[in-house]
């Protein structure tokens, strides 16, 4: 799962970056509104953390432009402003959630995880697919109740497939959502990661649809 963090205060941006990466997410950081607008308009993010008080272009304008252009990723707005009318304005502009500075990093991570689940149509924090369970709160994966250890890339790929269980996910889409901007998004590497995952969770857990991509059954399958 890939997130964009738009924050012009370096210390806060670094803290959010560390918290989200430790939660199994790929993260891109930008520090001004113009760069944020371009990044969100051209890249496929699973969620965005957006500060409103930005240089060059304010966050509310960025959000309005994204929504006007049909960008539907969930947006968690950060602001130092406590006036309720400004919070309402942000929600009306298309924000999905609101967090006022200062905030606890654990709350930001929890809110972002909830937005990611809802955007994928998953309500519960524990995802199920066949014998595989993934606890998004603890980043724990188990097979029939037995915990297994995954690398960060393996976890991100499995998490994305399980958030979108029941749908065939193209390899190019997996590559777009698995890596941040600083990494080479080689679709050929996805096959290697899938092969490693299958050795850990079972060959039948991830289905290959030749010419289309990969899929995992939803909990009802």
What are the domain boundaries of the chain?
2-119, 126-215
Q: Provide the greatest CA pair distance for the chain.
A: 53
**How much helix, strand and coil, in percent to the nearest 5, is found in the chain?**
40, 20, 35
Specify the pTM: 0.88
Q: How far is CA 155 from the centre of its chain?
A: 12
> How far apart, in whole angstroms, are the C-alpha atoms of residue 13 and residue 16?
5
Query: Are 215 and 169 a contacting pair, CB within 8 Å?
Result: yes
Helices 59-68 and 33-42 pack at an angle, to 10 degrees, of: 20
The candidate with the shortest Cα–Cα distance to 50, out of 31, 69, 25, is 31
| 51 contacts 8 by C-beta, under 8 angstroms | yes
Q: Give the CATH fold of the 126-215 domain.
A: Arc Repressor Mutant, subunit A (1.10.10)
Helices (H), the chain: 10-22, 33-42, 59-68, 84-93, 105-119, 152-163, 171-178, 187-201
- Show pLDDT as tens, one digit a residue, over the chain (221 residues): 899 999 999 999 999 999 999 999 999 999 999 999 999 999 999 999 999 989 999 999 999 999 999 999 999 999 876 677 777 888 899 999 999 889 999 999 999 999 999 998 888 899 999 999 999 999 999 999 999 999 999 999 999 999 999 999 999 999 889 888 766 667 788 999 999 999 999 988 999 988 899 999 986 54
CATH 3.40.50.2300 for domain 2-119: yes
């Amino acid at each position: 799962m890939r997130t964009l963090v738009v924050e012009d205060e370096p210390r806060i941006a670094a803290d959010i970056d560390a918290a989200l990466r430790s939660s199994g997410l790929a993260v891109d950081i930008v520090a001004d509104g113009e760069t944020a607008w371009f990044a969100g308009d051209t890249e496929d993010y699973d969620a965005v953390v957006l500060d409103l008080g930005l240089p060059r272009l304010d966050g509310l304008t960025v959000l309005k432009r994204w929504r006007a252009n049909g960008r539907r990723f969930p947006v968690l707005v950060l602001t130092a402003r406590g006036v309720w009318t400004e919070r309402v304005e942000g929600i009306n502009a298309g924000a999905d959630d609101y967090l006022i500075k200062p905030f606890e990093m654990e709350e930001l991570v929890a809110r972002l995880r909830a937005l990611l689940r809802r955007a994928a149509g998953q309500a519960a924090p524990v995802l199920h697919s066949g014998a595989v369970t993934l606890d998004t709160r603890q980043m724990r994966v188990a097979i029939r109740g037995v915990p297994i250890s995954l690398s960060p890339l393996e976890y991100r790929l499995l998490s994305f497939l399980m958030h979108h269980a029941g749908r065939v996910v193209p390899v190019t889409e997996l590559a777009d959502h698995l890596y941040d901007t600083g990494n080479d998004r080689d679709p050929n590497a996805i096959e290697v990661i899938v092969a490693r995952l299958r050795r850990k969770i079972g060959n039948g857990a991830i289905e290959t649809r030749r010419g289309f991509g990969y899929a995992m059954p939803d909990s009802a399958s």
